[in-house]
Every structure is written in C-alpha cells, then in structure tokens.
Amino acid sequence: MRENQITGAEAAVRMLQLHGVQHIFGLCGDTSLPFYDALARLDHGIEHVLTRDERHAAYMADAYARVTGRVGICEGPSGGGATYILPGVIEANESSVALISITSDVPVTARGRYPLTALDQKALFAPLTKWNGVADHVTHIPNLFRTAFRAASTGRPGAAHIGLPYDLQKQGLDASHVWAQREHGSFPAYRTAPDPALVAAAAEVLLRAKRPVLVCGGGTILSGACTELVRLAELLDAPVASTVSGHGTIPDNHPLAIGVVGANGGTDETREALSQADTVAFIGCRAGSTTTEHGSVPGPGVPIVHIDIDPMVVGANYPVEAGLVGDALHCLRALIAEIERRITSPRTTDAAQRIAGLRAAKRERFEVLAHSNARPIRPERVLAAVQKALPADGIIVADPGTPCPYFSGYFDFDSTGRHFITNRAHGALGFSLPAAVGAAYGRPGAKVVAAMGDGSFGFAVGELETIVRKNLPITLIVFSNSSYGWIKASQKDGYGSRFFSVDFNRSDHARIAEAFGLKAWRVEDPAELDAVIAAAIRHDRPSLVDVISQPLEESAVPVSKWMG
C-alpha cells in the first residue's frame, strides 16, 4: 500500500473518531473482521462494547444518544446481523433519535453469486431509515460516513445506515479523503429557526386564550429546550402536560405540571386538566393517537398551536391556528421574546390552584394502592419503593407493558431533562435491559434502573452477561406475572376475557440473574419490598429484583385505550 494510503476499514474508524465517537455497541461477524482489526490496531479512544444480540446493540446506542446528545453508533455483520439490528434502528428513527447503524456486507465482487449472508442491504434499510447507503467503491467510505452523520443529526434527527462490503474494507484509499464536520457528531446540529410572521401568529393565539395548556413531547427534551418551556409556561400561566417521551420537560413538582397525558399513563385527572383548555399548544410532539387518545383529548374545535422540527407533523392530526416549523429551542426562544414584547408582566390566573387539586386527587388514589399489603404485590407499591430509593439524578428505563404506563403516570422526576427512557415509537418488548446499558455508558455517574415485565426479560436475558462483564451498576426490576400482560389485558377489555396464548410458566428470575453473576432478590411479601429495592439500588454492582406482582389485567394501571 502506498505511503499516504489507508484501508477502507481504517478510514471507517478514523471517520468515527473525527466525529467525536467514544462508544460503539455491536457484535462481531466474518464480514466485519477488517473493521474489528482496525479498531484493535489503531489509537482512536473509542470503546467497543460487545453485545450478545445486534438488536440490543441498537437499543444501547439509542439510549446512549438520548442521554448524551451524541450520535449513537451500533454495528453488526451481514445477513442475520443486518436483519437482527433493524428493530432498534426503526425505534430510534421513529423516536427522532440520532443513530448510525453500520453493517458489514459480502464482497462487492461476490454480488449476484449467492455468497453466504448476502442480501440487498440498501433495499432492506431504505424504507426504515432517514438515510441509507452501501459502499460500491473504497473511496466512497469517508463520504458515506459524513453523509450518515449529517443526516442523523440535522433537521428531524433520525437513524442512518452504512453498509461496508468486506473487500472494500481491505482495499486502499488516499488518507486525504478522511475529514469530518465535527458538529455533526451531536444533535440537533445546525438548528433551524421559525418564520417570524408565524411566531407572531402563535403568540397572538396563545395570548388570546384564557386557559391555554402546553403539551410537550420528546422533541422538547432532545432539543434541550426545557428551561425555555418552563419560562413560556410561567409567562402564560399555562399548565404543562407531557407525552410519555416528554416526561421531564418540566419538573413534576412545578405548580404548573400536569403530568403525562394520553391513553398510556394519563389518568382521569390529567385528562380533565387537558379538557379544560381553550387552546392547546403541542411542542416537540406529533399529537398522535396515544397522546390525544385517538383525537378525543383535545377534542375537535379547540384552537391548536403546533411546534415541531418536522413540517409533516404540523397539521397532520389537527387543523392549526398557528404552526411553527423549527428546532424547539429556537421556536420557544422566539415565542418567549414575542410574548414578552407584548406583555409587561407574566399573566396570573388560577391555573396552579386548579392543577393542585387534580394532582392531589391523583396522588391520593395512588397512595392507597402504594401502601397495599395485598399479594401478589401491587405495581404501585413497587413504584413507591423505587421513588424513595432512587437518587435525584437517577434514570428509569421502562419497557412497554406494566412499567411504561405506571412510571409515566405516577413516577415523579423533580428536575428537567432525560431521566425517563422508554421505546414509545414501536413498543417492542426487550428494550429496557439493553437500553439501560447505553444509558449507563452515556451517564456513568447516574444510577440506572431498568424496569421490565417477565415477558420482556425473556427477550433480553442474554445481555445480563454484558452487564456483568462490564460491571455496570444497573438495577433491574422484573414485574413477574407469568403472562404477556398488555395483550392479556386487551383480551379482557375487548374480547370478553377470552384469554388465548398469552400465559407462560413463571421463571425464577433471581436465580437466573445469580447464575449470570448479579446480586439478586426475589420478593413475594410487600413488607419486604422497600428494604430490598433500597438495597438493590445502593448496590454498586449489577443487581436484580424479581417481584411477584399483580397481573396487569387485574391492576389499576393508567391505560384508557389498550390499542395504540
């Protein structure tokens, strides 16, 4: 190889390094060998985290990106690896999380000759990513990386895919091709600002309202706009509700905080608070079926202001009085400036008083169940125990099923930012255990608790080895009820309790965890729960608590509509 040449694999590693990548989550394979060898030989400062499943590598990269604001990187081999990694890539893309999936591929020279693990990766990833490319020549590799980072981090963040054929990883190219725009390593990169005329229109609608409510989604947190959101709420004296992904846009102890609304995590009280609005502003969310309970809250005829980075979202589900397209941070700053120009002091209404009464009623009902001594243990009692034991800077990673609506509806985060992670775009089981790994790497000083049902545990159990190998002080909580609870509850609600193929045998998750090397407890007596949860969270190595819990279909879970 000539003096100023590097291999395609070396170029890939250098491109990651130049974009500021510090962690890669992935799984080895034959077609990835040159890439792995370059990672082993070169001095780049990147830690590779070996996972036990490519899907979990993507979930790790997703959560890592959510807590760091850096583009998450996952990788896997050709064939099965490329297909296994897809669920996590799709979740990140639909959740507006910047992620790059790198999959190695069969040699370019073997295309069309039926080599092992061959598939059309470009066609496979095309409908499921924001951007997607497979290298056809070694000199294409640096530009593919630049384009992937640019696509993932700008505009509406999302997932990108790069395919690296085996032979191109070994071929040479001139090192001068390798350069990066470092700003694209974090998101949102190159923020966009709203049209001033539309800002004025939105301010007019909000100031005309007597009882405005702000509904904030994950985009507000991803944009780092929580401080501005709270400032706008206080200016307008407007209550703030959040979507499941937006939990953390306002401290839950703020007088204007309603809590999570919608079919998953919303309660009668939060529903009433949103129903009282004479104007609703959606900020950094899609106003989709779960958040609006299929368009029923808010109902037809309520004036809508919609702010989002994605122009296709604004006006998709509600006609809007005013729509702002742009980064949430810039939109809120512009809106605050316009409102401050029009008013001399913050408005004062009875919003905080109205919200206080509704919050008290919601909390009172929860506390009754949170102190229940009934067996199996009520999920409310588990939440109360975690609430007491988790440090203020802790992170909850929740799977769908039992954990998501309960932690959305009743767990209080009294600071803003990303302290709650759940996979709301597609709701696949098995997310929280691997995602907790990504969160732990992304925010190593914070305590991470992963909450899952026993159905989800079965999807992701292999990553217990990863947690132990890396000695991550993650605490896992398993709600053990021996069923796919969400579907069983759906069958009870809509199909006359004709339960079919939703129950399975109970596993001893504590013994399984101990076999992997975790410190583990099994709890059946509610009187023991607080002490066990506190001990598990204090433990400075991996831990698991297996809770024999009330079946979801028998619980008071805050879910109004089981079908999303």
Given a contact cutoff of 8 angstroms between Cβ atoms, the answer to whether 319 and 205 are in contact is no
Pairing of strands 279-283, 212-216: parallel
Q: Give the max Cα distance, the chain.
A: 75
* Mean pLDDT by groups of 10 residues along the chain of 564 residues: 89 98 98 98 98 98 98 97 97 98 97 94 97 98 98 98 98 98 98 97 97 97 98 97 97 97 95 96 96 93 97 96 98 98 86 94 96 98 98 97 96 97 94 98 97 97 98 98 96 96 97 98 98 98 98 95 80
Q: Look at residue 564 in the predicted model and tell me its pLDDT.
A: 67
- Please calculate the CA angle 350-352-354 and round it to the nearest 5 degrees: 65
> What does the alpha-carbon distance between residue 30 and residue 168 come to, in Å, rounded to a whole number?
14
Give the SS3 label for residue 463.
helix
Alpha helices in 126-236 (DSSP H): 141-153, 166-170, 196-208, 218-222, 226-236
For residue 540, give both structure tokens: 């400075």
Given a contact cutoff of 8 angstroms between Cβ atoms, the answer to whether 248 and 353 are in contact is no
Q: Look at residue 424 in the predicted model and tell me its pLDDT.
A: 87
Given a contact cutoff of 8 angstroms between Cβ atoms, the answer to whether 225 and 200 are in contact is no
> What does the alpha-carbon distance between residue 275 and residue 262 come to, in Å, rounded to a whole number?
11
Nearest one of 412, 360, 409 to 386, comparing CA atoms: 412
Helices first, then strands: H and E counts in the chain: 23, 20
Nearest one of 46, 35, 45, 49 to 6, comparing CA atoms: 35
> What does the alpha-carbon distance between residue 557 and residue 536 come to, in Å, rounded to a whole number?
25
319-367 pLDDT per residue, tens = 999 999 999 999 999 999 999 999 988 788 899 999 999 999 999 999 9
pTM of the model: 0.97
Pairing of strands 172-174, 5-7: antiparallel
* 246 exposure class (CB count in 10 Å sphere: 0-12, 13-18, 19+): buried
Given a contact cutoff of 8 angstroms between Cβ atoms, the answer to whether 35 and 164 are in contact is yes
> What does the alpha-carbon distance between residue 37 and residue 44 come to, in Å, rounded to a whole number?
13
Nearest one of 333, 307, 298 to 219, comparing CA atoms: 307
Sign of the CA dihedral running 251, 255, 256, 261: positive
Sign of the CA dihedral running 264, 419, 61, 51: negative
* 122 exposure class (CB count in 10 Å sphere: 0-12, 13-18, 19+): middle
The separation between CA 232 and the C-alpha centre of its own chain, rounded to angstroms, equals 25
> What does the alpha-carbon distance between residue 514 and residue 260 come to, in Å, rounded to a whole number?
36
Residue with tokens 């307008």: 236
51-96 pLDDT per residue, tens = 999 999 999 999 999 999 999 999 999 999 999 999 999 999 999 9
Given a contact cutoff of 8 angstroms between Cβ atoms, the answer to whether 193 and 261 are in contact is no
Alpha helices in 187-292 (DSSP H): 196-208, 218-222, 226-236, 268-275, 289-292
Q: Look at residue 1 in the predicted model and tell me its pLDDT.
A: 64
